[in-house]
């Protein structure tokens, strides 16, 4: 495994990476490459990497630890259940540098929602930042302090930190782009609950995942774990996930339940998953953001094959003969930071963002695979459309992220 990870990292251009695999009471960890190419600092097993949106599971765990009523409205008609299951309808929100969680939530007042609360799935950073503000209001502490005091310390996660002053006491991997360190290290403090600041070693990340394999591990109440792992909504773009729970996703591979989350910031990328039926957890972290998902995909395929004899499903193969009606989907779809132009001609469908465009290959059930995966940022997921009462699409989901049909669609 060690050699495979080294070769994989080299082939993908990953500067530094860690992998941790836990099966039963055994934990194996692997480290390769450089934490900082500018200084020649090697990655060690205790190096911390930015983990991005995998943080959202930590924030959901905090909400559950506080015993908050999941169905009591906290923002208009939006409830904590909506926030954690990605059904709030809130726009994903801007990627901006603000000082506090409250500052970020204030920005959301002027951003139109994608849909009504509970009307469907749409992954959103904003939802989790609202959860973080809820944690702050209930505890009287900052999100960082609540995370440390209520979750990290009780769980013994000594190589996980979100505050710069705490990171000074750890080995830390900086992000790399084009072989050079990324600056600044944090791109936003206010987005912390959604994943802009938290850093962890792969070993700590897999230890966090094991809490869900052991009924909360004495940290989370068993009833809270059961609630967090209960599916709340189906995900239309099935390559991304089958269902969303209260924090983690749920995927079904060879009939086996696989829970987890992934995340990316400019300074790092992580993937965490756990398999309850087989007492297995896997975590990967890298410090080259756009290589994180291909790296995790290859590692997880190998671990699932070698440990469990389970095949992670490949991307579906589009069949050009699959019937579909382009006119159902043609139009403009908008979110705060994205504008998709979907056009159709000669039985083909095409989608364009300002910076990239691609044909869409039909998979059936209003799902399409981009002909060029660069359109999804190498996330290896599909696009899906949500159909409204009049039989036309009302939303587009680029894997995780939702956009609403514009009021005056293009023709």
CB 330 within 8 A of CB 411: yes
Per residue in 259-301, pLDDT tens? Answer: 999 999 999 999 999 999 999 999 999 999 999 999 999 999 9
Rounded average pLDDT over 384-409: 93
Looking at per-residue pLDDT, the higher value among 346 and 223 belongs to 223
Please report how the helices 55-65 and 125-139 are oriented relative to each other, as an axis angle in degrees rounded to 10: 40
Residue 226 — pLDDT band, cuts 50, 70, 90? very high
Q: Strand pairing partners for 268? A: 265
Topology, domain 2-66+97-308 = Beta-lactamase (3.40.710)
- Check residue 74 and give its pLDDT: 97
Rounded average pLDDT over 65-77: 97
Residue 364, sorted as left (phi over 0), alpha (psi -120 to 50) or beta, turns out to be: left
Residue 411 — pLDDT band, cuts 50, 70, 90? very low
**Which has the closest alpha carbon to 279: 209, 213, 229?**
213
Residue 262, sorted as left (phi over 0), alpha (psi -120 to 50) or beta, turns out to be: beta
Sequence spans of domains, the chain: 2-66+97-308, 326-405
Give the Cα separation of 119 and 134 in Å (integer). Answer: 22
CB 172 within 8 A of CB 268: no
| Interacting residues of 30 by C-beta distance below 8 A, sequence separation 6+ | 1, 2, 5, 18, 19, 20
Per residue in 228-248, pLDDT tens? Answer: 999 999 999 999 999 999 999
- Is the pLDDT at 158 greater than 50, yes or no? yes
What are residue 373's phi and psi, to 5 degrees?
A: -70, -10
Rounded average pLDDT over 100-109: 96
- Check residue 408 and give its pLDDT: 62
Rounded average pLDDT over 200-213: 98
Give the Cα separation of 136 and 150 in Å (integer). Answer: 12
Give the residue ranges of DSSP H helices in 240-319. Answer: 292-303
Per residue in 6-48, pLDDT tens? Answer: 999 999 999 999 999 999 999 999 999 999 999 999 999 999 9
Per residue in 302-321, pLDDT tens? Answer: 999 999 999 988 889 998 88
| Interacting residues of 10 by C-beta distance below 8 A, sequence separation 6+ | none
- Is the pLDDT at 409 greater than 70, yes or no? no
Residue 346 — pLDDT band, cuts 50, 70, 90? confident
- Check residue 376 and give its pLDDT: 82
Mean pLDDT score of the chain: 95
* Gyration radius from the chain CA atoms: 20
Give the residue ranges of DSSP H helices in 191-244. Answer: 202-210, 222-228
């Amino acid at each position: 495994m060690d050699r495979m990870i080294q070769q994989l990292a080299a082939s993908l251009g990953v500067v530094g990476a860690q992998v941790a695999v836990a099966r039963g009471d055994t934990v194996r960890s692997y480290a390769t490459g450089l934490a900082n190419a500018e200084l020649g600092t090697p990655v060690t097993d205790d190096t911390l990497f930015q983990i991005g949106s995998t943080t959202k599971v930590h924030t959901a765990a905090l909400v559950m630890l506080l015993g908050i009523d999941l169905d009591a409205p906290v923002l208009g008609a939006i409830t904590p259940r909506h926030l954690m299951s990605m059904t709030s309808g809130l726009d994903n929100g801007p990627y901006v540098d603000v000082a506090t969680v409250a500052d970020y939530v204030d920005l959301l007042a002027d951003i139109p929602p994608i849909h009504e609360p509970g009307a469907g799935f749409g992954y959103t950073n904003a939802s989790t930042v609202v959860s973080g503000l809820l944690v702050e209001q209930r505890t009287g502490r900052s999100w960082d302090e609540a995370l440390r005091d209520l979750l990290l310390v009780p769980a013994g996660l000594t190589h996980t930190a979100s505050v710069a002053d705490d990171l000074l006491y750890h080995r830390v991997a900086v992000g790399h782009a084009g072989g050079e360190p990324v600056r600044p290290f944090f791109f936003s403090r206010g987005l912390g609950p959604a994943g802009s600041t938290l850093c962890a070693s792969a070993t700590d990340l897999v230890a966090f995942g094991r809490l869900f394999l052991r009924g909360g591990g004495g940290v989370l109440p068993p009833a809270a774990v059961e609630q967090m792992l209960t599916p709340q909504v189906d995900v239309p773009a099935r390559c991304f996930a089958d269902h969303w729970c209260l924090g983690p996703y749920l995927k079904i591979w060879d009939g086996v339940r696989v829970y987890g989350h992934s995340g990316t910031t400019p300074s790092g990328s992580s993937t965490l998953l756990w398999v309850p039926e087989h007492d297995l957890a896997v975590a990967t972290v890298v410090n080259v953001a756009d290589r994180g998902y291909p790296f995790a995909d290859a590692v997880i395929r190998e671990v699932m094959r070698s440990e469990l004899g389970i095949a992670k499903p490949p991307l579906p193969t589009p069949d050009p003969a699959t019937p579909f009606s382009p006119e159902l989907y043609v139009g403009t779809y908008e979110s705060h930071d994205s504008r998709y132009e979907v056009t159709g001609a000669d039985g083909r469908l095409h989608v364009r963002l300002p910076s990239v465009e691609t044909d869409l290959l039909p998979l059936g059930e209003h799902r399409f695979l981009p002909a060029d995966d660069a359109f999804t940022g190498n996330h290896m997921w599909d696009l899906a459309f949500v159909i409204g009462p009049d039989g036309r699409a009302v939303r587009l989901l680029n894997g995780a992220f939702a956009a609403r049909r514009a009021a005056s669609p293009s023709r």
